[in-house]
Amino acid sequence: MTGTIDVTKLTGTIISLAGASLQLGALTITSAGAITTIDEGQTVTYTVTATYTDGSPASSVTIKILRDNAQIATATTGIAGTATITLTFDQPGTYIISATGDLTGIQKSTLTSTVVVISKRVTAALTIEKTKLQPGSSLKVTLNLNSTKLLEQGTVTITLPQSFTAKNVQTTGFQGTATIQNNILTIQKTTATTSTSQATITFTLSSPIKGIKIGQAITVTATVDVLGLRTVFSTDSTFQITIEKPSANSVFSVLDSYFAKTVSALTEDRVPTVADIFALLDLYFGA
């Protein structure tokens, strides 16, 4: 984060020794706020203004920037009495930033600004193609990952509803081993595969024909665990799907596929059986 946003000024007085020909009156430090929260590796820019006691700008003053009372940077004020310093924060933690002017006899400024640095993060977004699903049909599920650093190693876990299946699992930017066990889809990525800062995982969620009820609500939940990153979901990490009554067109479509011996998207992507037809009819008339 660079530049000034929601400018907040913190002013502290610099005290000079009596008798100095030019007395530095005050330093004003301007940053993104009294408390600034950023991710690791981001920057904060500070503008320090030095003035004499009469209010005129103090040029050619060496400004020292301190982090937790340890000097980490210097800059010299220009004609307008200002100096700009940009600091990079690579480690998480809370830091107190202060400034002082380099003139003989000047005491350290009491002005401060606090920076809270949090761990780098991966932002996850879980989306579904639709929120209602007919028995035996499918919908597309997408998980997008966007990270502040490379996604080198981690695990994505998606919990599926009982008796539902995940098909056509595809990964981009998070290539790894995909397994399904006990209705849990797990994708593991290691450092052996190419790493990027963005990834997409898609799969088709298929509903069974038997063992479900019209109006039944089922859920799918995703978790993301990437080494060295904090996961934040920009969407809900759990979504809900409602099983809806098969339409008359769907029933006739399944009958057509049965007699033509062709695959139907309404019978779990396979050729319908007599049992499938009766199951759909039961759901249609019994709903």
The dihedral built from the CA positions of residue 92, 95, 100 and 105, taken in this order, carries a sign that is: negative
Identical fold, 8-118 and 121-243:
yes
Q: Where residue 107 falls among pLDDT bands split at 50, 70, 90? A: very low
What mean pLDDT comes out for the span 251-266? 91
| 259, pLDDT greater than 90 | yes
Using the structure block, give the residue that is written with the tokens 């190419």.
194
Give the CA-trace dihedral at 211, 139, 155, 240, to 10 degrees: -60
Considering the segment(s) 121-243 as one domain, its CATH architecture is Sandwich (2.60)
Share of the chain above pLDDT 90, in %: 42
Most confident of 11-20, 23-32, 57-66: 57-66
Residue 228 is predicted with a pLDDT of 80
Name 138's bridge partners: 206
Q: Assess contact for 231 and 216: CB atoms under 8 A.
A: no
| 18, pLDDT greater than 50 | no
Residue 56 is predicted with a pLDDT of 85
Residue 166 is predicted with a pLDDT of 92
The dihedral built from the CA positions of residue 169, 175, 179 and 182, taken in this order, carries a sign that is: negative
| 20, pLDDT greater than 70 | no
Q: Assess contact for 146 and 197: CB atoms under 8 A.
A: yes
What mean pLDDT comes out for the span 235-239? 95
Q: Where residue 22 falls among pLDDT bands split at 50, 70, 90? A: low
The CA-to-CA distance between both ends of the chain, in Å, stands at 56
The two three-digit tokens of residue 145, written as one number: 């990952």
| 103, pLDDT greater than 80 | no
| 100, pLDDT greater than 90 | no
What mean pLDDT comes out for the span 17-45? 66
Residue 13 is predicted with a pLDDT of 36
Q: Please state whether beta strands 112-118 and 217-226 pair in parallel, antiparallel, or not at all (unpaired).
A: unpaired
**Residue 17 CB coordination number (10 Å):** 11
SS (H, E, C) 125-141: EEEECCCEECCCCEEEE
> What is the pTM (predicted TM-score) of this model?
0.61
* Superfamily of domain 8-118 in the CATH hierarchy: Immunoglobulins (2.60.40.10)
- Where do the domains of the chain lie? 8-118, 121-243, 248-286
d(Cα 75, Cα 79) in Å, to the nearest integer? Answer: 13
Using the structure block, give the residue that is written with the tokens 């761990």.
119
